Chain A
Amino acid sequence: MRAAGGWGGASGSRASEGRGFRLGTGLVALLVPAAVAGIAVVLTSGSILSIKEFGLSFWGTRTWDPVAGQFGALPFIWGTLYSSVLALLLSTPIALGIAIFLSDLSPYALRQPLVFLTELLAAIPSIVYGLWGIFVLVPIVRSLEMRTPAWLRHTPLFEGPPVGVGMLAASLILAVMVIPFTASVAREVLKAVPATQREAAYALGATRWEAIRATLFYGRTGIIGAIMLGLGRALGETMAVTMVIGNSPAISLSLFAPQYTMAAVIANEFTEAADALYLHALMEIGLVLFIITVAINALSRLLIWRVAAERQPRVVLPAAAPIG
């Protein structure tokens, strides 16, 4: 740097310049892990009152009564897990179908446009899904619920009044939002499976599907990683779910029942939390959401890398927006 306009000065300053470059950029890069650690520290210290007051019973109690100062997070845990699992049941077959079609079956000319369109599903903001959910999906779900035969309405899965908002609407919308994430990672995983796997299957007389099954089996850890990545998205999704799930802290198996999720209760009540304990209880829910999603993301990444490492250095994960 000292030799103005030149490519560097004497050899001593060059070495120090090289070290300076590495140190300077490295320090900035360190901010990224620091941010993750910062979130963990801030959320923990912000929920200390609730942790001390309720301990583990916070996660096993059903009562959520801010006025009485009683806080139990069980209904939100239930709602989050139930809606996410239902969404995964709906989205996984479709997402894998998309990944298989786009990596193995699609005509070449259609491939890029279809990849673009399916990834566009991830680009639609959560709030727009929510708006569409309130005014289009919920009325449709409501009329479906009203047409459900009476004998079915007496089973635990479909009991309750047909209000439209509730678990069914929420998991449908979640499924749509999760599909592009699972599909795009699963496609990368299938792309990373060596062509020899497919060729060997065909050489043994396999049908098209049997060859695909062989590649799916070969990439199974990565596929599981892709599904878990979708789960991570579903657990943390906020706006669209808040707008259609009904926001009622109830624990019910019924798909028709209005329920609540962890992310939704934070979104709805955070600005209303008047006293410290209330705020800390909400922060503790955020902390657990953070821990769960970090664990799931970390695990899914490890699984995906393991498959990808054999073929190429690293699978390019979609730089898609964190939905919320």
Chain B
Amino acid sequence: MTRTDWRRRAMSRLLVSFCAASVLLALLPLAWVLFFVGKQGLAALNASFFTQVPKPVGEAGGGMANAMVGTLILIGLGAAAAVPVGIVSGLYLAEFKATRLASAVRFAADVLNGVPSIVIGIFAYSVAVLPLGRFSAIAGGFALGIMMIPIIVRTTEELLRLVPATLRDGALALGATRGRAALTVILPAALPGIMTGVLVALARVAGETAPLLFTSFNNRFWSTRLDRPIASLTVQIYTYAISPYDDWHRQAWAGASVLIAAVLLFSILARLVTRRLERMHRS
């Protein structure tokens, strides 16, 4: 064996080990964040966190019940706008894949997915806060809806493409029009997967803060009115995190642990469903 051979092998081994090490290096912060949020969150969580609204400064206790409900309302509003638009657009992309509009939509969805969420917030502020003259749940839901659309569009398209072509051929052979086949045969076949994608989109935007700062704003009291500012888990965590009070910091950790638990739950659920679907389509 020559000297260069030896060097090449050593180089190869070194860089291959670097690749393996980089996986561990990336998993380190993941474990660290999850561990810390879990530890601090469990120490701070209690029943009143889920049932009470924030207490005034200086009073211990209180909870984020209003913020959790607020987040649910906000993502519900977002979904109400984004789910129909996203699924129908995805249907168009899957059915008319080669048209010029399809490439434009696909491109726009990718671009929209990359627009910083803070910019989406400014957009929602200009469209929904300025005309109303006040921060509102509607404005926040609008911002979250815009962010959900690209995720739902792409998931829907991918999953519709997984539906075997034989199903469509069968429907067309029975005399169905293209639209009929798409709506009554192909879409239902892909629906479980699409719903999973929608759930993932919901979980992801539930963790958004930046687009809510000046759209839904925040609210320390119970409010479910759609035309008023509304509390959200993320903005509440932010407010507490940058405050100087230890008790508020504890509440922030508790809120973060609830948020992380929801995100993890949805991600694992989505993965299980996706794997089952893949196995189903393969067999």
Contact = CB atoms under 8 A, between A and B. Distances in A.
From A102, A124, A282, A290, residue with most partner B Cβ within 10 Å: A124
From B23, B27, B123, B256, residue with most partner A Cβ within 10 Å: B23
Contacts of B9: 207
Interface string B49-72: 000000000000000000000000
- Top 3 closest pairs, chain A to chain B, by CB: A236-B116, A125-B207, A324-B117
Interface in A237-290: 237-239, 243, 263, 266-267, 270-271, 282-283, 286, 289-290
A32 B153 contact: yes
B186 interface: no
Contact of A286 (B102, B119, B179, B271): B119
B182 A321 contact: no
A124 B33 contact: yes
A203 to B, nearest CB: 16
Given A98-B23, A210-B8, A126 B95 contact: no
Interface in A88-122: 93-98, 100-102, 105, 114, 116-118, 120-121
B3 to A, nearest CB: 15
Interface residues of A, number: 95
Contact of A207 (B12, B123, B197): B12
Given A263-B116, A267-B118, A317 B26 contact: no
B177 to A, nearest CB: 5
A14 interface: yes
Contact of B213 (A43, A179, A267, A290): A267
Interface in B62-110: 84-85, 88-89, 91-93, 95-96, 101-102, 104-105, 107-110
Q: How large is the interface on B (under 10, 10 to 19, 20 to 34, 35 or more residues)?
A: 35 or more
Interface stretch (A19-27, A67-75, A155-163): A19-27
A215 to B, nearest CB: 13
B267 A120 contact: yes
Contact of B37 (A128, A134, A209, A266): A128
Interface string A1-29: 00000011000001001101110111011
Nearest to A14: B177
Contacts of B200: 319
Interface SS of chain A = helix
10 contacts: A21-B177, A32-B105, A33-B107, A118-B23, A121-B29, A124-B263, A125-B208, A209-B13, A290-B119, A293-B115
Contacts of A322: 113-117, 120, 147
Contacts of B85: 28, 31-32
Interface stretch (A34-42, A53-61, A142-150, A192-200): A34-42
A28 B89 contact: yes
Contacts of A176: 26, 29
Interface in B9-34: 9, 11-13, 15-16, 18-23, 25-27, 29-30, 32-33
A316 interface: yes
B210 interface: yes
A176 to B, nearest CB: 5
Interface in A274-320: 282-283, 286, 289-290, 293-294, 296-298, 301, 316-317, 319-320
Contacts of A94: 22, 25-26
Contacts of A125: 206-209, 234, 259-260, 263
Contact of B22 (A93, A207, A293): A93
Contacts of B36: 132, 135-136
